[in-house]
Structure 1
Amino acid sequence: MRGSELTTERLLLRRWRDDDREPFAALNADPEVMEHFASVQDRATSDAMVDRIEGGFDANGYGLWAVQLRGSGEFLGFTGLQPATFAAPFTPAVEVGWRFARHGWGFGYATEAARAALEFGFTEGGLAEIVSVTAWSNERSMAVMRRLGMHRDPAEDFEHPMVPEGSRVRPHVLYRLGVGEWRAGAA
């Protein structure tokens, strides 16, 4: 399973470049973007995340693609697939996720890009199921999950083990989508 680039009507999902690091660090330092995470990230932490993402591509053939507008080349954030490596009742699993700069909110980019990632995972990757998780308070991401055809079972809500105990964003929800559901929705 190798996916260096995916395209949609408006977006290019691609491997990371050095010039993505500065806008990505700004996105990760934005308190509004990071509202549903344990904290904002400094530049070193953000750069280390890019390095881990690129390592994931090398190891898995997929990862969190950098997302840019096709017309202008403007960097928007990321969308993609990654193994859920934390301990939870539903792991091991592959997760679809996204994070966009505020200037990319409200245009349907997350849904458009995530659909491309799901298609890649189910067709090229042969995955049987893809999950998505977010903090219980992240209504925007849950709306994207529903638009993707994913479903939530409240019995699967969990305390994210990588978020500090006592954090308001430790409670998480889990959404799932099986390949059969995806095929039925894509038809």
Structure 2
Amino acid sequence: MTEIRTPRLILRRWLDDDLVPLSEIHADPAVMQNVGDGRSCSLERTAEQIEAWEEEWDEEGFGMFAVELLGSGELAGAVGLSVADAPGEVADQVAISWLLGRAFWGQGYASEAAHATLEFALQDRGLDRVVAVCRTSDHASMKLLGKLDMRAEGTAQHPFHGHDVSVYGIDLTQYQA
């Protein structure tokens, strides 16, 4: 089982006990405003999402991690890698993304988890490049992408949701652990 430990977090595969806490995170409109179509997700949709993430782990050798607080065991959210399907500028490339519950914002958890995930992608999994896509209005994510040394590569319109997105990327030659 793939697991990464950081000073304060455990990044791990998904467990049955993660469904309810993740569905509570998915139900928060503030958390979901910059994710997908911006709408909250039901318990059933959250279960489908976890199942899809686990399938990607089995098929690709990477996926979305559950982010667990090392001290308490509490589920803080998700961070990880997926094969992007949109926009066309990054389709079929490996993308990094994250989602943390509102109670965990502003404490550096997203940055800590994303740094560990990027290192996992480029060093452990041997990927040559990782991309990221975020809404042009999502300044917190853009700030985190800067901390990851990912470079802005342009903007696009998301073909499924219609909003403008910023595209970022980093390749192995640019990465510094």
Question: What is the DSSP-based 3-state SS (H/G/I as helix, E as strand, rest coil) of the residue aligned with 1:50?
Answer: helix
The range that moved more, 82-91 or 118-127, is: 82-91
1:121 alignment partner in structure 2: 121
Q: Deviations over 1:155-179 (max 9, x none)?
A: x21111231x4xxxx2111111111
Q: How much does 1:87 deviate?
A: 5.0
Q: How much does 1:91 deviate?
A: 2.5
Inter-partner Cα distance in structure 1 for 2:28 and 2:132: 22
Q: Map 1:7-156 to 2 at 5 A.
A: 7-37=5-35, 38=37, 39-153=39-153, 156=154
Q: How much does 1:134 deviate?
A: 0.8
Question: What is the DSSP-based 3-state SS (H/G/I as helix, E as strand, rest coil) of the residue aligned with 1:49?
Answer: helix
Inter-partner Cα distance in structure 2 for 1:5 and 1:161: 34
Inter-partner Cα distance in structure 2 for 1:23 and 1:131: 28
Q: 1:171 aligns with which of 157, 164, 170?
A: 164
Question: What is the DSSP-based 3-state SS (H/G/I as helix, E as strand, rest coil) of the residue aligned with 1:118?
Answer: helix
Q: Specify the code of the residue in structure 1 equivalent to 2:18.
A: D
Q: Specify the code of the residue in structure 1 equivalent to 2:101.
A: A
Corresponding pairs, count:
175
Inter-partner Cα distance in structure 1 for 2:117 and 2:10: 11
Which runs of 5 or more residues in structure 1 are unaligned?
Answer: none
Inter-partner Cα distance in structure 2 for 1:17 and 1:89: 33
Structure 1's consecutive aligned runs of 4 or more residues displaced over 6 angstroms after TM superposition are none
Question: What is the DSSP-based 3-state SS (H/G/I as helix, E as strand, rest coil) of the residue aligned with 2:168?
Answer: strand
Which runs of 5 or more residues in structure 2 are unaligned?
Answer: none
Q: Deviations over 1:50-83 (max 9, x none)?
A: 1100111111111000000111111000111111
Inter-partner Cα distance in structure 2 for 1:95 and 1:9: 24
Could you say what the CA RMSD is over the residues aligned between the two structures, in angstroms?
1.2
Q: Deviations over 1:108-164 (max 9, x none)?
A: 1111111111111111211111011111111111111001111103xx21111231x
1:4 alignment partner in structure 2: 2
- Asked if 1 retains the 8 angstrom alpha-carbon contact of 2:87 and 2:156, the reply is no
- Asked if 1 retains the 8 angstrom alpha-carbon contact of 2:84 and 2:93, the reply is yes
Q: TM-score when scaled to structure 1? A: 0.90
Inter-partner Cα distance in structure 1 for 2:89 and 2:132: 14
